[in-house]
Amino acid sequence: MSQNTQKVFTPLADATPYTQPGLPGARGLAYIETYGCQMNFSDTEIVAASLAELGYGFTHDEAAADVVLLNTCAIRENAEQKVWHRLAQLKGRKRRNPDLIVGLLGCMAERLKKQVLEDAPVVDLVVGPDAYRDLPTLLAAAEGGQKAVNVLLSREETYADLAPIRLNTNGVSAFVSIMRGCDNMCAFCVVPFTRGRERSRDVASIVRECEQLVADGYREVTLLGQNVDSYRHEGTDFADLLARVAEVSPLLRVRFSTSHPKDLTERVAQALAAYPNVCNFIHLPVQSGSSRILEKMNRGYTRDWYLDRLAMIRSYVPEVGLSTDIISGYCSETEEDHQATLSLMAEAGFDSAFMFAYSERPGTLAARKYPDDVPAEVKQRRLAEIIELQGQLSVASNRREVGRVHTVLVEGTSKRSVADLCGRTDTNKLVVFATPDGVGPGDYVQVQITETTRATLIGSIVERP
Ligand code: 5AD
Ligand code: SF4
């Protein structure tokens, strides 16, 4: 799943404290900060639902909050380091306001469990990803001055019946969680330990959530799971689910993340081709281009298998947008393995990639079996080469777009200039274009690409709604 590498604050739709008893906010104000993958951002919306039921309102002003929650990531060591720094800052705030409740949620909470309370006494609440239903009880205990912990993992919890509160919304795109946990046991990955066993959410509740989103004016959903291709609920597999969601409304774009090369089926590629509103974009983490390393990563495929999957996908969707994840410097990686990664990148022609240096995570298969033996400077040098190559591939991929016309779903105003709008192509490329009157978020427009930067396409509207 794609990762946000920098700290991301959650801007909240409504920072106004409500004061009437019985209304949201009567109990106090919560501030939630989210780190890590899209699944964490989606979980924050579940946490918000749980807090709102309790009577909490939300603020994006940390100083105004009665409860500060950090929804954390444990995937690499630096993700945890950021949170330790935040906890150190919160110590000062709590000294000034001893009633402040500080909670640690998510994967780091799950991984470190009670140890957090010893190492960071500022923390009152430690809640793992499957325990958000227990937040009312845990918060009540914390408000009473006790430390509260629930890090139980579940085999069933999907929060199917909790309507997420979309704190961070642009009103156009929404995440919809379709499954939780992961059974793959990739050797480098801590996720199976922090998010537990894989389980799929029932189809009807997913379809209902998407129908409601359309009724509320949303025009894009991203179906989320650690490995969406192994979705299965009472005979419905992921390809069937894509079809069901695509049929909710032709106005609704359907995206999904993350796919796994070993499980991605031909039927999924066929669904991309068959439904115009299922986006022609796949995030397909490869991790390495060396079959020897892939085997040691326990990924369940070889280099050739991966390239073969790409050929299969492109046979149905020739212009598919493709992104990936790559790890440099995994245990025992040689220069030859690294070269294999670079050559695979060029052969695959990824449009974009998330690239990381290997970070050993305690308890994982790799940490137990293989020494973390690639020196840090070698990992970094290889990572720099991977990033450099991907830069070239991304530029080339963007240049090919010049002159083409894309259907773009308008998301909002551009970060660079409020006079411009931005949105995405079906293939997930960001496009910036001048705003004509009467076009706004949620509209589909035809945009011709006129120029590009490394990360963005620039165009002008040739046809409006
Ligand atoms: N070190 C570095 N990168 C990792 N990822 C997962 N675990 C690690 C680790 N221990 C990367 C993988 C995965 C993405 C979400 O994060 O590339 O696909
Ligand atoms: Fe981690 Fe592999 Fe599961 Fe992704 S598929 S969450 S990398 S174990």
328-386 residue pLDDT tens: 999 999 999 999 999 999 999 999 999 999 999 999 999 999 999 999 999 999 999 99
With CA atoms as reference, report the closest residue to 277 among 218, 231, 342.
218
**CB 191 near ligand 2, within 6 Å:** yes
Q: Give the nearest ligand 2 atom to 192 CA.
A: 8
Phi, psi (deg, nearest 5) at residue 324: -150, 170
| In contact, 40 and 175? CB cutoff 8 Å | no
134-156 residue pLDDT tens: 999 999 999 999 999 999 999 99
404-461 residue pLDDT tens: 999 999 999 888 777 899 999 999 999 999 977 789 999 999 999 999 987 899 999 9
**CB 134 near ligand 1, within 6 Å:** no
Q: How many CB atoms lie within 10 A of CB 235?
A: 7
Determine the Cα–Cα distance for residues 145 and 263; give it in Å rounded to an integer: 48
Q: Does the reported pTM lie above 0.85?
A: yes
The beta strands (E) that lie in 314-382 are given as 321-328, 352-357
28-55 residue pLDDT tens: 899 999 999 999 999 999 999 999 888 8
**CB 49 near ligand 2, within 6 Å:** no
- Average of per-residue pLDDT values in the chain: 92
Is residue 15's pLDDT more than 60?
A: no
Find the 285 Cα to ligand 2 centroid distance in Å: 10
Mutate to test the pocket of ligand 1, among 5, 80, 184, 189 (most ligand atoms within 8 A of CB): 189
Of all protein residues, the one whose alpha carbon is nearest to atom 17 of ligand 1 is 325
Q: Give the nearest ligand 2 atom to 260 CA.
A: 5
| In contact, 206 and 240? CB cutoff 8 Å | no
